[in-house]
C-alpha cells in the first residue's frame, strides 16, 4: 500500500490550541504519528529569575487558563512547604471549593469540545451553557471568570459569605440536574457510541508504562488520583477516584462526566464542613531549599519542582503538566485508527498545549 503523509494541525478546526501531528497514512489507516510542539512557548519558567517568589503566584496562574487555580495552588503549596507555613483550615477548604469548581468547568468545556469533535454541535452548546453557570459562580465569588487569582502564599485572598454559599448550593443543584439530563445522550446515543466506543484503546499496563496521568489513565482502569494524597482539605473529604475499564474514548469521556458530578459532591462536602476563621497567614522571610509539589488537575497530575536559595527570586522552577505526560499515550493510540477518527482520539486526552509549553 502506498504511504501518504498528512499534516494534522497546528491549525485545525477541532483543536483549540496548536499541536502539529505528522500522520503517516496507509489506505486511510494511520500507521505512525509524530508530534511537533512549541508553537506557544512563552518562557514562563524563566520569569522566576525576574519576578520575586510572591509575584510568581500570578505568573504560574497564567501557565494554563483553564486550570489557573490549580497551578497557583500547587505553587503556593510548594512554597508553603519550603517555608513551613501552616495554612489556616478555612483557606484549605476554600482552595478545595475553588479547585473543584475549576475541575467542573474544565470538564464541561472538554465534554463540549469532545461532542464537537464528532460533529454533535447541539450537545456542545448544551455543555457550554452549563459551564456558564460555573463561570458565574467563579466570577461572583472571586471577581474573575477564569483566572480567579485567589491564592497567595499562606492562604487565599477571598472569602465566601453565607449568602454566596447558599446561592452557590442552589446553582449547583441546577447544574447537577442539567448535567444528568445530558447523560443519556452522551452514553446511549447510537451516533456517539459509533464514534467513541473502541476508538483509541489504551490498556492499563501500557498507560502505566507510558506514565500517563489523570482521566486518560483512569479511563484505562488504573485508580490513580493525586487528590488521594489529601492536599488542602481533601484528606477530610470522602471520595474514591472514578475509573472505567475499557481504555477507549468512550471510557475517558465517562470518567470526566462522572468526575464532574463527583466535584459537585466534593464542593458540597467542603461547604458542609468548612470551619470559620482566618483565610490567610502572614508569611515572613524567604524560601530556601528544594521541594516537589503535586496537585491533581482536570487533566491529571501537575508536578512542580521548586528550588530556592533564600533570595527573593527562585533558583529554578520546573513545571511538568499532565498533557506532557499524556502525549506519548496519544501516539500509541493513533496507529490503526481511521484518519477520520484522529480528531476524536486527539481530543480524548484533553490536550492543553499552552500548559505543556509554558
Tell me which residues touch another protein (CB under 8 A): 51, 54-59, 62, 122-123, 125-126, 129, 132, 139-144, 147, 149, 157-158, 181-182, 184-185, 188-190
* Cell digits of residue 356: 505543556
The nearest distance, CB 191 to another protein, in angstroms, is 8
The nearest distance, CB 207 to another protein, in angstroms, is 30
Decide whether 142 or 269 has the Cβ nearer to another protein: 142
Decide whether 121 or 198 has the Cβ nearer to another protein: 121
The nearest distance, CB 216 to another protein, in angstroms, is 26
| Per-residue buried b or exposed e for 236-263, using 16+ beta carbons within 10 Å of the residue's own CB | ebebebbbbebbbbbbbbbbbbbbbbbb
Sign of CA dihedral 304, 307, 308, 313: negative
Decide whether 68 or 323 has the Cβ nearer to another protein: 68
Q: Report the C-alpha gap between 82 and 308 in whole angstroms.
A: 9
Decide whether 125 or 229 has the Cβ nearer to another protein: 125
Decide whether 11 or 122 has the Cβ nearer to another protein: 122
Q: Report the C-alpha gap between 1 and 220 in whole angstroms.
A: 32
Decide whether 123 or 210 has the Cβ nearer to another protein: 123
The nearest distance, CB 136 to another protein, in angstroms, is 8
Q: Report the C-alpha gap between 15 and 61 in whole angstroms.
A: 22
Q: Report the C-alpha gap between 144 and 72 in whole angstroms.
A: 15
The nearest distance, CB 17 to another protein, in angstroms, is 20
* Cell digits of residue 193: 457510541
298 near 68, Cβ under 8 Å? no
Helix (H, G, I), strand (E, B) or coil at 88: coil
DSSP state of 340: G
Amino acid at each position: 500500500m502506498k504511504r501518504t503523509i498528512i499534516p494534522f494541525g497546528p491549525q485545525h478546526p477541532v483543536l483549540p490550541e496548536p499541536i502539529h501531528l505528522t500522520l503517516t497514512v496507509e489506505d486511510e489507516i494511520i500507521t505512525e504519528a509524530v508530534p511537533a510542539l512549541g508553537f506557544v512557548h512563552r518562557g514562563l519558567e524563566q520569569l522566576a529569575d525576574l519576578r520575586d517568589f510572591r509575584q510568581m503566584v500570578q505568573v504560574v496562574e497564567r501557565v494554563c487558563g483553564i486550570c489557573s487555580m490549580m497551578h497557583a495552588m500547587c505553587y503556593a503549596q510548594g512554597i508553603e512547604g519550603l517555608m513551613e507555613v501552616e495554612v489556616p483550615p478555612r483557606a484549605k477548604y476554600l482552595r478545595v471549593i475553588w479547585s473543584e469548581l475549576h475541575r467542573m468547568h474544565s470538564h464541561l468545556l472538554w465534554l463540549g469540545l469532545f461532542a464537537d469533535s464528532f460533529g454533535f454541535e447541539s450537545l456542545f452548546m448544551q455543555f457550554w451553557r452549563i459551564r456558564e453557570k460555573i463561570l458565574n459562580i467563579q466570577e461572583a465569588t472571586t471577581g474573575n471568570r477564569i483566572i480567579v487569582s485567589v491564592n497567595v502564599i499562606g492562604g487565599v485572598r477571598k472569602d465566601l459569605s453565607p449568602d454566596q454559599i447558599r446561592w452557590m448550593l442552589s446553582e449547583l443543584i441546577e447544574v447537577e440536574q442539567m448535567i444528568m439530563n445530558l447523560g443519556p445522550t452522551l452514553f446511549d446515543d447510537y451516533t456517539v457510541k459509533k464514534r467513541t466506543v473502541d476508538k483509541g484503546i489504551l490498556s492499563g499496563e501500557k498507560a502505566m508504562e507510558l506514565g500517563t496521568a489523570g482521566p486518560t489513565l483512569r479511563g484505562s482502569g488504573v485508580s490513580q488520583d493525586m487528590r488521594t494524597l489529601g492536599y488542602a482539605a481533601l484528606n477530610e473529604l470522602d471520595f474514591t477516584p472514578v475509573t472505567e475499564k475499557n481504555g477507549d474514548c468512550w471510557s475517558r469521556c465517562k470518567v470526566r462526566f462522572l468526575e464532574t458530578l463527583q466535584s459537585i459532591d466534593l464542593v458540597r462536602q467542603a461547604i458542609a464542613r468548612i470551619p470559620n476563621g482566618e483565610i490567610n497567614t502572614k508569611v515572613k522571610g524567604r524560601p530556601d531549599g528544594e521541594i516537589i509539589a503535586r496537585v491533581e488537575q482536570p487533566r491529571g497530575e501537575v508536578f512542580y519542582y521548586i528550588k530556592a536559595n533564600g533570595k527573593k527570586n527562585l533558583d529554578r522552577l520546573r513545571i511538568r503538566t499532565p498533557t506532557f505526560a499524556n502525549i506519548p499515550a496519544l501516539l500509541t493510540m493513533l496507529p490503526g485508527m481511521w484518519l477520520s477518527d484522529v480528531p476524536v482520539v486527539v481530543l480524548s486526552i484533553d490536550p492543553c498545549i499552552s500548559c505543556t509549553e509554558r
